[in-house]
Amino acid sequence: MRKTIIFTGFMLFSLFFGAGNLIFPPSVGFFSGDAFTPAILGFTITAILLPLAAVVATIISKDGLLSITKQVGPVFGVLFAVLLYMSIGPFYAIPRAANIGYKFGWAPIIGENGIHLFIFSIIFFLATYFVSIRPQKLVDIVGKLLTPALLITLTVLFIQAVRTFTYTSKPPSESFSEHPFLVGFLEGYFTLDAIAALAFGIVVIESLKLAGIRERGELIKGTTMAGVIAAIGLGLVYLAIAWIGRVIPFEGTPGDGSDLLVTASNLLFGTSGNYVFGIIVLLACLTTVIGLITACSQFFVKLYPKFSYHTYVIVFILIGFFFTNFGLENLLNIAVPLLVFIYPASIMLITLTLLQPMLGYSRQMYRFSVTVAILFGIYDALGATSIDMKWSEPFLSWIPLFDAGLAWLVPAFIAALIGYMMDRLSNNVKTV
């Protein structure tokens, strides 16, 4: 059992560690300068601890994400769960990862044009298909093969960076100068890993069941330990690549963390650096897409078992393939507002699920807090589009953390407290 949990933890690490996770830590390291420590601490809270909490929340509930969302109401539960899976799956995260894998893992070596993207997509999604149709082999393929390959490549890059780059004092950029912890917190927040964790939880649970771990207590223990292993791995990798971003002798201002890692690879390994970074990106993207295809398929086969798991895998791969070649920029115009809308409610659902064993179940607590989170999510989603929302700032700017983009946080928790007290006073809180 111990060996199974360890490799399941490795698998979960790889599922989390996508291309987006390569971009944020080096940027935090570069722009935070001498404020590196508080900035990276804030980053790890939302990029590591929150996803870990989400994984634990999925196993605490009976049927994973669907049980969590149905705490608000049965109709809302199904609609929100479907929206979440499709948003972080075939409609956005899957084609995004495939495009980034192409841009940084293929194009610098082969060349970039529409035909190359099409060929790359065929190869990439065929590899995804052959791994995803064998969920019983997911731990073996991802946890035992792809994860070690990814970690070895990252370790080679980090060791060479330690031997080559020199730490020098550097003032933080303007964005990190006043509140480095909060800025780092928000950078981790925008990795969207907390949402992905709600989807990946079901993959971990099913992998443990396929390995013969079926008793609920053992599943809770196994899932939690796998989450801790993945969190430790993420923490070490984030510190390593953030440190590379901190010490790299980079001239000018990078567009994002990928610019820093590409430059680091070239400085450390010369022209072969393109191959080093390309391997890292391709492995990161491939493992994440495999996890998302598997998670989405396992969820929908439980929700609507008329179609087989194999059928769902094919459908989601075809959708991902289509959007990969459709154009990422067009996709972002739709997906980003949708993700901004989902995130606040998702965090509240995770938090309340973790608190439920201590507080008991309160329907009004869920309904009040999630309603407030959704209202703020709608506001943030509209702001992420071309709609001008500045007219509303005088009415909302007094709310704590408004300027940080977290205006929903305090009102949602106040709403949760009000709902809980109402149910407590009317004896409607149920022991769980």
Query: Are 377 and 237 contained in the same domain?
Result: no
Does residue 344 share a domain with residue 260?
Answer: no
Domain around 146: 2-326
Same domain (yes/no): 303, 339 = no
For residue 232, pLDDT over 80 is answered with yes
361, β-bridge pairs: 430
Number of structural domains (the chain) is: 2
Summarize pLDDT for 175-224 with one digit per residue, the tens.
888 889 988 988 887 777 888 888 887 778 777 887 777 787 888 888 88
Are residues 293 and 299 in contact, defined by beta-carbon separation less than 8 angstroms? Answer: no
Q: Which of 303, 326, 349 is the last residue of a domain?
A: 326
Task: Clarify whether residues 190 and 338 are in a common domain.
Answer: no
Q: Are 283 and 315 in the same domain?
A: yes
Q: The whole model's pTM is what?
A: 0.84
Instruction: Based on the fold, state whether residues 273 and 413 are members of the same structural domain.
Output: no
CA distances from residue 355 to 69, 265, 424 in whole angstroms, order as listed: 15, 44, 15
pLDDT of residue 243: 93
CATH number at residue 59: 1.20.1740.10
- pLDDT above 70: percentage of residues in the chain: 94
Which pLDDT band holds residue 28 (cuts at 50, 70, 90)? Answer: very high
Give me the residues paired with residue 430 across strands.
361
Band (30; pLDDT cuts 50, 70, 90):
very high
Q: How confident is the model over 101-120, as a mean pLDDT?
A: 79
What confidence score (pLDDT) does residue 158 get?
86
pLDDT at 257: 72
**Closest C-alpha among 94, 48, 93, 52 to residue 237:** 48
Residue where one domain finishes, among candidates 295, 326, 357:
326
Mean pLDDT of 158-182: 87
Dihedrals phi, psi of 430, to nearest 5 degrees: -100, 140
43 band by pLDDT with thresholds 50, 70 and 90:
very high
On whether both 282 and 377 belong to a single domain, the answer is: no
Same domain as 90, residue 11: yes
Give pLDDT, residue 286: 85
Return the CA Rg of the chain. 21
The domain boundary residue, chosen from 326, 345, 361: 326
d(CA 95, CA 272) in angstroms, rounded, equals 27
pLDDT (tens digit per residue) in 67-108: 899 889 899 999 999 988 888 888 888 888 888 888 777 777
Label residue 361 left, alpha or beta by phi (over 0 means left) and psi (-120 to 50 means alpha): beta
Higher pLDDT pick, 230 / 279: 230
d(CA 299, CA 85): 8
The reported pLDDT for the residue numbered 410 is 94
67, 137: one domain? yes
Q: Taking residues 309-335, what's their average pLDDT?
A: 83
User: Which residue, among 178, 163, 351, has the nearest Cα to 268 in the 3D structure?
Assistant: 163
